Amino acid sequence: MSLVPVPAHVETSPGELPITSSFSVAIDGYQEPRLDRAVERLERQIARQTGLPMRIGRGDTATATLIIRCDHASKPVQDVDEDESYDLEVRPDKASLTAPNPLGALHGLATFSQLISVTPGGFAAPAVRIHDAPRFPWRGLMIDVARHFMPVDVLKRNLDGMAAVKLNVFHWHLSDYQGFRMESKKFPKLQEMGSDSNYYTQEGAKDLIAYARDRGIMVVPEFDVPGHATSWFVGYPQLASAPGPYRIERRWGIFDPALDPTRKSTYSFLDGLVGEMSKLFPAPYFHMGGDEVNGKQWDSNREIQSFMQAHAIKDNHALQAYFVAHMEEIVSKHHKILIGWDEVLSPSLPASVIVQSWRGQSALADAANLGHRGLLSYGYYLDLMHHADEHYSVDPMSEATASLSPEKKKLILGGEACMWTEYVTAENLDSRLWPRTAVIAERLWSSQDVRDIDSMYRRIGRINWELELLGLTHRTSMDAMLRRIAGQDDVNSLWVLAQTVEPVREYDREVLATQRDALNSGAALNRLVDAIPPESKSSREFAHLVERYIASDFRDATTEKYIRAQVTTWAENDARLQPVLAGSFVLKEDAILSTNLASIANIALEALNYAHSNQIPAADWVAEATRTLEDAKKPQDDLVLVVAQPVEVLVQAVSKAKP
Amino acid sequence: MSLVPVPAHVETSPGELPITSSFSVAIDGYQEPRLDRAVERLERQIARQTGLPMRIGRGDTATATLIIRCDHASKPVQDVDEDESYDLEVRPDKASLTAPNPLGALHGLATFSQLISVTPGGFAAPAVRIHDAPRFPWRGLMIDVARHFMPVDVLKRNLDGMAAVKLNVFHWHLSDYQGFRMESKKFPKLQEMGSDSNYYTQEGAKDLIAYARDRGIMVVPEFDVPGHATSWFVGYPQLASAPGPYRIERRWGIFDPALDPTRKSTYSFLDGLVGEMSKLFPAPYFHMGGDEVNGKQWDSNREIQSFMQAHAIKDNHALQAYFVAHMEEIVSKHHKILIGWDEVLSPSLPASVIVQSWRGQSALADAANLGHRGLLSYGYYLDLMHHADEHYSVDPMSEATASLSPEKKKLILGGEACMWTEYVTAENLDSRLWPRTAVIAERLWSSQDVRDIDSMYRRIGRINWELELLGLTHRTSMDAMLRRIAGQDDVNSLWVLAQTVEPVREYDREVLATQRDALNSGAALNRLVDAIPPESKSSREFAHLVERYIASDFRDATTEKYIRAQVTTWAENDARLQPVLAGSFVLKEDAILSTNLASIANIALEALNYAHSNQIPAADWVAEATRTLEDAKKPQDDLVLVVAQPVEVLVQAVSKAKP
């Protein structure tokens, strides 16, 4: 079994349910068209998982392989207080899925398809009893479609991915400095002048919302105010705190423009827009952003300054609180609950407002102590290129939140993975989201004590493949990108290098980009750094080999052989790869990485020889090797040669070995 | 440059046109919306080819990088007598594409995007003057959607592939024993009872036809009569020559049911259907099939026999001619030109009828001598799993057709690649079509003397990648299939085996399937044979290495090293792969292939050692090795271990070497 997320209770028993072409699903009890569509999706997915021809459509309760029973309907509009539990029993002759409502049944179907695998006897699901329910009610994914626009079909396939790992909130970051991406019929200049024609029609949004609803996902829109709104001001400069004209922002960063929070007209505009969008989006939540206002436009606007004096608003933080209070009124008027990033928090903030924290557990604890529900996104920023295990280790109920009172703990709703898209396009979005989003999904669904990293990485293999079958391109797109980068069909030697490097982490790319003057939305994202995954599987596996070899006191001959084979491949790759690198301007800067890979591979070979012959290398060899390795670790073309680290571990171990 | 198909005239000059984000296309002269859509497709394709952000939409003639000029419109309905020529000039500062009509311009745009590649200085198209026009006016691809249904989106992406290699006819084989796939509003029981609900709506067909038209492709429907029509008789048994009831045929093969050609009611039904379909399909051609009537139902029907006597119809061949003559009248009445397979030919056949030949050039020559236009499909049957170079060597104007008079030669319109889908589903259709269809496309477009096989295989790499960018899954789907087959994410060792085998050829799968009793449309196509491509690139490359090594009298040390590395991988693979094979029922029968691969690899290693040390092996070693190799060549699980052949070549050469 290889389930992601791990269910709450699993009880296995002997035997298995064969999955053949005569597999069918029946629906008993409460029925609705959404369940029928879910059954058809399951059948299509099983067809893809097995290659068996499947009859698509609902089967007969008397003969069906799997019977679904729901007690009653879900809420007409999905909310986070719904029962998402399900019970799945697989026996050698039949399977049954029971759930209070279709939402739970959808989760159970996701589990069922993950149970199926090939066996020596055929395709089968193991006999098992599962009782499952999520740990947190809010398990979200935010995608920023403002910095780079993502077409509806790209979002849809990612909604499929979300449903596969039981995420239930799609947080749609629809506006920012660089674009306003949703059609407004009331204020059409928002998209007409603020989107470079890259926006969603309301028709498209409705379609996406229905698609998400079918998959047990609520869609929460975010329109970021009062900062992050330059794109609004292109069409409506009167909203800003400084006179226009404005242009769509092309750079990345934090910028001065902000809504003028002192004018009535600002709020009547927002009332109109929130009203329009509240009708379009059925979810009971409305995200207003509220982050990163630098206050400069407010400081230099005399009218704003005198307004603040007149109203005893002592600083920009108080002015922001004043704005948020008005937003809350507007959003409440339209029957929605306001959500904002950390910065919306102030002592006067109405308790109903939900705080989404990029700052961390202590900010969430502070909010909870003021009575606010909270969502953790700190530690779940996928754009920072962290490894899966790092995200996995972050828990919404840890550190400051862990010591909240039981009552206050209930206010921690869960969390959201966040994908900011400065360096992400429709082409590589999937590879930035997956499989790491699945790991965060498990953190939010499964018990807190589910934290075995080896198990998590093992199960990622299966979910990777499942996501591929759902149409996600997180692995397949890399091949096409590498061919483009290399300008040739044979990319074997480029693959070897690509598997040893990782993108720089945190905000290092922004720092390096400033140096190369490519810090803008028009820059091509077509280099090696954009094609490779955030995490090198080869490097992780190589590090394990090195660990195992050292732990054996250099006696494990099989492991030594594997290490030798790997580093020999690296050492020999440079000669083959350099002509490829020379032929492509995109790869020019990577030549040194390839050379470095050969150098450190040769160091590893020498280290192996020392270890193999029970010799300790001379101090100057160690010093020279260490210098080379340190040098090889420096970022180059936004890439880091991550296999240098385990080679260094090997060198250090060899230099200290007892002969 | 890596163009497929090779243009008629290419004149290169120094320099290149840089392709950057500011690339744009303008349209001068004759304009129509189809051209605008083609420009947008080009821009999107260039964006995928380069990863550059592109402005989508028509640019300004004053500043555009590429200017398109057409003289006049194409025909409102595409036909094969249109001028498809174009002239493309790329200079270091600008490019211009001129064509008599949009059809030529579409071909020119396909060429332009193939010119772009990565260079040491950036993305660029080389400076070049191309004058191009096709050798044959009819360059088609037939897809059988009756034996396995192919959804519209699967067909659409293959139309994109066709347009990329300048194919201009999509021959849609819409009905057969196993299914009637087109909605008829006049005779709805055709699809309702004859398709298992897998059929195209007329709306869907119109959409596909428009999609094809946008890409310069004419859609020709085929409704196969009087044989191959069992699916019609499920709803309309009165059409058959024996009483029903009938069921949709589930087996593969040739079956008895045939339309009754003696009844008026048959023709009034056909008149109704042809009339309805002639309105739906604007193309001036209508394909009636007409192949493989075994005549058994006719022989055993007394009324048919007495009809034949009464009308002096002396045998079934004459009865078929009688039927075809009636079909021709009906089709003519609806303003279409009849096409049929070889079997429609008879001396009395009206000259307007086009003959499509699966029999070969001499059948085409016979038809031409009777005044018929003809299409070659013999040699282009993609389901037979031939290699690309075999298809490449077949020319419509060779053998019997080469000696036709110049006048008669004009009757040879071109040819069609044919994809019969007994063993093809939507999942592996792309990998069965591509890249081999591109090779046939080149045969039909390019000059007859374009026949360098090495050049063809080299250029296939580029077209493979281009097809991938267009959304075709001929390579990417294999990975997901291998993971399903192996039941695990790491399929490296399965890949090693998969690259050394090919599917059995010709109709061997049918022969072997009969033995295993899986000769039917319900059988799962989910084994290794269904995942791998028809042609092993590894095997071809390995055979080249062996040739080169032998040609050097075993002195080429580099080649020896490559051969040794390759066969060592094969020799060592079995131990890793056997546990994988044991875990999956789908792979059980392949265990012997893996063992055989190890055996022949060890033979190759021994042969290398003899060669390396200038020794001639003993006769009994050669005999034993040859026995093992012959054994390893036997089909297993519908697969052939094709690398056994070059190993045998090596063994033979070593055994004859002069020491």
Q: First vs last Cα of chain A: how many Å apart? A: 44
Output phi, psi for A395, to 5 deg: -125, 135
Cβ atoms of B655 and B643 within 8 Å: the answer is no
- pTM (global) more than 0.90: yes
The residues, ordered by sequence, that sit 6+ positions from B162 with a Cβ below 8 Å of its Cβ are B141, B168, B170, B215, B217, B437, B441
The string of DSSP letters for B368-396 reads: HHTT--EEE-TT-BGGG---HHHHHT--T
pLDDT at A1 over 90: no
Cα separation of B85 and B216, whole Å?
12
| Percentage of the residues of chain A whose pLDDT score is greater than 90 | 96
Mean pLDDT of A573-591: 96
Chain A neighbors of B49, CB-CB under 8 A: 484
Q: Are strands B86-90 and B95-99 parallel, antiparallel or unpaired?
A: antiparallel
**What pLDDT was estimated at residue A513?**
73
Chain A residue with minimum CA distance to B2: A488
The 10s digit of each residue's pLDDT in B7-42 is 999 999 999 999 999 999 999 999 999 999 999 999
Whether A486 sits inside 8 A of B461 (CB atoms) is: no
* C-alpha R_g of chain A: 27
**What pLDDT was estimated at residue A328?**
97
pLDDT at A418 over 80: yes
Chain B residue with minimum CA distance to A114: B487
Cα separation of A230 and A236, whole Å?
10
Among the partner-chain residues B48, B52, B585, the one whose CB lies closest to the CB of A120 is B585
Whether B464 sits inside 8 A of A489 (CB atoms) is: yes
Please state the three-class secondary structure of A605-644 as a single string.
HHHHHHHHCCCCCCHHHHHHHHHHHHHHCCCECCEEECCH
CA distance B564 to chain A (A): 15
Chain B residue with minimum CA distance to A50: B484
Among the partner-chain residues A117, A121, A585, the one whose CB lies closest to the CB of B118 is A585
The 10s digit of each residue's pLDDT in A186-239 is 999 999 999 999 999 999 999 999 999 999 999 999 999 999 999 999 999 999
Residues of A with a Cβ under 8 Å from any B Cβ are 21, 48-53, 117-122, 427, 461-462, 464-465, 468-469, 475-476, 479-481, 483-490, 522-526, 530, 582-586, 588
Cα separation of B68 and B641, whole Å?
50
List, in sequence order, every residue forming a beta bridge with B209; answer none if it has no partner: none
DSSP classification of residue B358: S
Among A232, A172, A220, A240, smallest CA distance to A331 is for: A220
The string of DSSP letters for A57-119 reads: S---TTT-SEEEEESSPPPSS--TTS---EEEEE-SS-EEEEESSHHHHHHHHHHHHHH-EEE
Query: Which contacts qualify for A263-271: CB closer than 8 Å, 24 or more apart?
Result: A265/A238, A265/A239, A266/A239, A267/A326, A267/A330, A269/A187, A269/A236, A269/A239, A270/A225, A270/A326, A270/A327, A270/A330, A271/A330, A271/A333
pLDDT at B418 over 90: yes
CA distance B587 to chain A (A): 9
Whether A522 sits inside 8 A of B21 (CB atoms) is: yes
Among the partner-chain residues A465, A476, A583, the one whose CB lies closest to the CB of B489 is A465
**What pLDDT was estimated at residue A658?**
63
Residue B647 pLDDT level (bands cut at 50, 70, 90): very high
At residue A80, what is the residue type?
V
The 10s digit of each residue's pLDDT in A291-328 is 989 999 999 999 999 999 999 999 999 999 999 999 99
Whether B585 sits inside 8 A of A461 (CB atoms) is: no
Among the partner-chain residues A121, A522, A584, the one whose CB lies closest to the CB of B120 is A584
Whether A53 sits inside 8 A of B480 (CB atoms) is: no
CA distance B489 to chain A (A): 5
Q: How big is the A-B interface in CB pairs under 8 Å?
A: 113
Whether B583 sits inside 8 A of A119 (CB atoms) is: yes
Among B314, B128, B149, B109, smallest CA distance to B231 is for: B149
The 10s digit of each residue's pLDDT in A533-568 is 999 999 999 999 999 999 999 999 999 999 999 999
List of E strands, A284-385: 285-289, 337-341, 354-357, 374-376
Residue A641 pLDDT level (bands cut at 50, 70, 90): very high
**Does A566 or B507 have the greater pLDDT score?**
A566
**What pLDDT was estimated at residue A514?**
67
Chain B neighbors of A526, CB-CB under 8 A: 50-52
pLDDT at B461 over 70: yes
Among A390, A392, A399, A358, smallest CA distance to A375 is for: A358
- The SS3 assignment for B640 reads strand
Tokens of B74: 């194409």
Mean pLDDT of B492-518: 87
Whether A21 sits inside 8 A of B524 (CB atoms) is: yes
**What pLDDT was estimated at residue B538?**
96
CA distance A53 to chain B (A): 6
pLDDT at B517 over 70: no
Residue A33 pLDDT level (bands cut at 50, 70, 90): very high
- Mean of the per-residue pLDDT values for chain B? 96
pLDDT at A657 over 80: no
Of B144-148, B251-255, B298-302, where does mean pLDDT reach its minimum? B251-255
Residues of B with a Cβ under 8 Å from any A Cβ are 21, 48-53, 117-122, 427, 461-462, 464-465, 468-469, 475-476, 479-481, 483-490, 522-526, 530, 582-586, 588
Tokens of A25: 């699903």
CA distance A174 to chain B (A): 20
Among the partner-chain residues B462, B489, B585, the one whose CB lies closest to the CB of A118 is B585
Count the Cβ atoms, other than its own, within 10 Å of residue A20.
13
Q: Is A416 a catalytic residue?
A: no
**What pLDDT was estimated at residue B121?**
95
Chain B neighbors of A126, CB-CB under 8 A: none
CA distance A319 to chain B (A): 39
List, in sequence order, every residue forming a beta bridge with B595; answer none if it has no partner: none
CA distance B112 to chain A (A): 16
pLDDT at B612 over 70: yes
Whether B51 sits inside 8 A of A121 (CB atoms) is: no
Mean pLDDT of A180-187: 98
Among the partner-chain residues B117, B490, B524, the one whose CB lies closest to the CB of A51 is B524
Residue A22 pLDDT level (bands cut at 50, 70, 90): very high
Chain A neighbors of B21, CB-CB under 8 A: 522, 524
Chain A neighbors of B586, CB-CB under 8 A: 118
The residues, ordered by sequence, that sit 6+ positions from A641 with a Cβ below 8 Å of its Cβ are A500, A501, A593, A596, A597, A600, A632, A633
pLDDT at B516 over 80: no
Cβ atoms of B544 and B506 within 8 Å: the answer is no
The 10s digit of each residue's pLDDT in B152-191 is 999 999 999 999 999 999 999 999 999 999 999 999 999 9
Tell me which residues of B are annotated as active site.
Answer: 292
Chain A residue with minimum CA distance to B149: A53
Cα separation of B584 and B471, whole Å?
30
Run of H or E residues at B10? strand B9-18
Whether B118 sits inside 8 A of A481 (CB atoms) is: no
**What pLDDT was estimated at residue A366?**
96
Cα separation of B182 and B262, whole Å?
26
pLDDT at B513 over 90: no
DSSP classification of residue B618: P
**What pLDDT was estimated at residue B520?**
86
CB burial string A573-604: b at 16+ within 10 A, e below: bbeebbebbebbbbbebbbbbbebbbbbbbbb
Cα separation of A22 and A310, whole Å?
76
Chain A residue with minimum CA distance to B56: A197
Among A473, A380, A526, A479, smallest CA distance to A151 is for: A473
Whether A584 sits inside 8 A of B118 (CB atoms) is: yes
Cα separation of B361 and B397, whole Å?
8
Chain B neighbors of A51, CB-CB under 8 A: 427, 481, 484, 524-526, 530
Q: Are strands A95-99 and B354-357 parallel, antiparallel or unpaired?
A: unpaired
Chain B neighbors of A153, CB-CB under 8 A: none
